[in-house]
Amino acid sequence: MRTLRLILLTLFLLGTTAVQAQYNRDYFFWVGRQCMMDNDYQEAIRTLNTLLRFDEEAFEGYFLRGIAKYNLDDLLGAEADFSTAIRLNPVYTQAYTYRAITRSRLGNYDDALQDFREAIELRPDLPGPYYSRGVTRLLNQQFEEAITDFDKFIRQETKVADAYICRGLSYLHLKDTVRAYENYDTAIKTNRESPNGYNRRGTLYMQQRRFGDAEADFNKAISCDSTYLLSYFNRALVYSDTNRPLAALDDFDKVIQLDSTNSLTYFNRAMLRSQIGDYNRALEDYNKVALYSPNNVLVYYNRAGVYAQLGEIEKAVADYTSAIDLYPDFANAYIYRGRLRALLRDAKGARSDRDTAQKKIAAYRERLSDSTYSIYADTTQHFDRLLSFDSKFAGSAFERITGGHGTGRDEMRLLPLFKFTLMQPDTTLRVEHYNPKRLADFYKRIANPGMVLSWRDSSLPADSLVARDKAVAETLKQQVDPSWLTLFERGITQSLIKQYTNSVNTYTEAIKINPSNPFLYLNRSTTRAEMIDFISSIDNSYQRITIDSDPANRLHNNSKRTYSYDEAVADLNKVLKLFPDFAYAYYNRANLNALSGDLPAAFEDYTKAIEQHPHFAEAYYNRGVIQIFMKDTRKGCLDISKAGELGIEEAYEVLKRYANTE
pTM assigned to the model: 0.57
CA distances from 551 to 3, 187, 370, 545 (A): 14, 14, 37, 13
pLDDT in tens, 186-224: 999 999 998 999 999 999 999 899 999 999 999 999 999
**Which residue in 89, 82, 96, 81 sits closest to 129, CA to CA?**
96
What's the farthest any 2 CA atoms get from each other in the chain?
96
Give CA–CA dist 468/462, Å, rounded: 10
Distance CA 627, CA 599 (A): 8
* pLDDT score recorded for residue 385: 66
pLDDT surpassing 60 at residue 114: yes
Residue 357 vs residue 176, higher pLDDT: 176
Cα torsion at 73, 264, 296, 279 (round to 10°)? -150
d(C-alpha 63, C-alpha 493), whole Å: 59
Taking only the tens place, the pLDDT of each residue in 6-21 is 443 444 334 443 333 4
At residue 35, the 3 state secondary structure works out as helix
Q: What is the pLDDT of residue 373?
A: 40
Amino acid identity for residue 279 in this structure:
Y
pLDDT band at 610 (very low <50, low <70, confident <90, very high): very high
Structural domains of the chain sorted by starting position, each given as residue range(s) with its CATH number in brackets: 1-126 (1.25.40.10), 265-376 (1.25.40.10), 402-658 (1.25.40.10)
Strands (E), 150-278: none
Q: Give the DSSP H or E segment for 419.
A: strand 419-422
Average pLDDT over residues 282-286: 92
Alpha helix segments (H runs only) across 367-459: 397-400, 437-446
Residue type, 598: D
Answer yes or no: is pLDDT of 374 > 60. no
The secondary structure element, H or E, covering residue 266 is: helix 263-275
Cα angle 271, 272, 276; round to 5: 115
Q: How many other C-beta atoms lie within 10 A of the C-beta of residue 250?
A: 14
Closest Cα to residue 557, out of 567, 571, 570, 542?
542
Per-residue pLDDT at 146: 92
Q: Percentage of residues in the chain with pLDDT exceeding 70?
A: 81
pLDDT value at position 433?
60
pLDDT at 572: 95
Q: Which helix (H) or strand (E) holds 611?
A: helix 599-612
Q: Percent of the chain scored above 90 by pLDDT?
A: 41
Give CA separation, 624 vs 102, 190, 511, 596, in Å. 22, 46, 35, 17
Give tens-digit pLDDT for 233-282: 999 999 999 999 999 999 999 999 988 877 888 888 999 999 899 999 99
Question: Can you give the pLDDT at residue 551?
Answer: 35
The 10 Å Cβ neighbour count of residue 465 is 19
Does residue 439 contact residue 420 with C-beta atoms inside 8 Å?
A: no
Confidence band of 388 (pLDDT split at 50, 70, 90): low
Question: At residue 393, does pLDDT exceed 60?
Answer: no
Indicate whether 576 pLDDT > 50. yes
> What pLDDT is recorded for position 390?
55
Q: Phi first, then psi: give them for residue 60, nearest 5 degrees.
A: -65, -30
Structure confidence by residue, pLDDT tens digits, 539-560: 433 222 222 333 333 333 333 3
Average pLDDT, stretch 87-100?
91
Q: Is the dihedral of CA 636, 641, 646, 648 positive or negative?
A: positive
CA-wise closest residue to 66 among 48, 84, 78, 53: 78
What does the mean pLDDT of the chain come to? Answer: 80
141: left (phi over 0), alpha (psi -120 to 50) or beta: left
Q: Rounded to an integer, what distance in angstroms lies between the CA atom of residue 624 and that of residue 606?
A: 10
Q: Give residue 25's pLDDT.
A: 66
CA 93 to CA 13: how far, in whole Å?
A: 11
pLDDT over 70 (residue 431): no
